[in-house]
Amino acid sequence: MSANEVGTKLVELCRQGDFRGALEACYAEDIVSVEAQDMSGEGRETRGLDKVREKTARWEATNEVHSCEVGGPYPHDDRFAVTFDLDVTPSAGPMAGNRFRMQEVGVYTVRDGKVAREEFFYSMG
Amino acid sequence: MSANEVGTKLVELCRQGDFRGALEACYAEDIVSVEAQDMSGEGRETRGLDKVREKTARWEATNEVHSCEVGGPYPHDDRFAVTFDLDVTPSAGPMAGNRFRMQEVGVYTVRDGKVAREEFFYSMG
């Protein structure tokens, strides 16, 4: 699959709120996932599909997502960008109980038909 | 200036429609600007501030911008992302006279307080 085909699949699943399905369908075993900030206290970089699955499960367990608008994919060579507009209430951490909107951009690098790297662009607090 | 400070300035000027001002305020002399597709027939990559000025002037001369919504900046280390939602009518090229909306993402790399590289993510046609 081309980068844009991978992006189309990823966006389709994210629009359904199926973030775990997106991992299983689109991600390489050696995925590297990089946050803009250290949100969890466990570092900004997560390596390997198992660890990214854990990160996703942890995020889902501690955030109630009221809506998530997803834009894209926007391709550029072997990469594509996706925009996220989240309406969310965290149940843990410094923002617990506070409903807020957050926009971010993900930039994904595709290798051999799978997402090998994802980088999230945002600013919090 | 940090990447986020450069991004804040760039977004402020783009929101005013002052794309040339953004070049003068934020761009390095050796800027490299990379399009997702070869829109002009002159290649995807433009090197140097003078050539990027020419590209911008050419684009402004051949596109009527009805509105341009700008989101961001969304920082990540020495880079930041910006989203553009354009409502535009080209006066030249295959789309001449056709008003359309277009979304794209720009990813900017900052070095020594200036934008040293910009990459545009989009898909047309």
Chain B residues within 8 angstroms (CB to CB) of chain A: 4, 34, 36, 71-77, 79-81, 83, 103-105, 107, 119-123
How far is it, in rounded angstroms, from Cα B28 to Cα B118?
11
Tokens of A71: 């834009």
d(C-alpha A27, C-alpha B96), whole Å: 40
pLDDT given for residue A38 in this prediction: 92
The CATH number given to whatever domain includes residue A18 is 3.10.450.50
Mind listing the pLDDT tens digit for each residue in B41-71?
889 999 999 999 999 999 999 999 999 999 9
- All residues of chain A having their beta carbon less than 8 Å from the beta carbon of residue B34 are 76
Domain count, chain B: 1
Picking from A36, A72, A107, the nearest residue to B75 by CB comes out as A36
Q: What is the pLDDT of residues B15-44, one digit of tens each?
A: 999 999 999 999 999 999 999 999 878 899
Share of chain A above pLDDT 90, in %: 90
User: By CA distance, what is B71's nearest residue in A?
Assistant: A103
What share of chain B has pLDDT > 90, as a percent? Answer: 90
* Band (A16; pLDDT cuts 50, 70, 90): very high
- Which of B74, B101, B110, B117 is best to mutate for the A interface (most A CBs within 10 A)? B74
Would you say the C-alpha torsion A28, B83, A73, B117 has a positive or negative sign? negative
The mean pLDDT value for A57-61 works out to 93
Euclidean distance between CA atoms B79 and B118, whole angstroms: 9
A80 contact partners, CB below 8 Å, separation of at least 6? A3, A4, A6, A7, A72, A73, A74, A107, A108, A110, B121
Joined together, the tokens standing for residue B111 give 């070095």
Distance separating alpha carbons of residues B79 and A4, to the nearest angstrom: 22
* Residue A125 reports pLDDT greater than 90: no
Residue B95 lies in domain: 3-121
pLDDT of A40 reads 77
Task: Tell me whether strands B27-34 and A114-121 are parallel, antiparallel or unpaired.
Answer: unpaired
pLDDT at B106 over 80: yes
- Chain B: give the shortest CA distance to residue A97, in Å: 24
**The two three-digit tokens of residue B66, written as one number:** 């009805």
Contact A80 B122 (CB under 8 A): no
Mutate one of A38, A45, A120, A121 to test the B interface: name it (highest B CB count within 10 A). Answer: A121
So what's the pLDDT on residue B80? 98
List Cβ<8 Å contacts ≥24 apart for B17-21: B17/B65, B17/B68, B19/B56, B19/B60, B20/B53, B20/B56, B20/B57, B20/B60
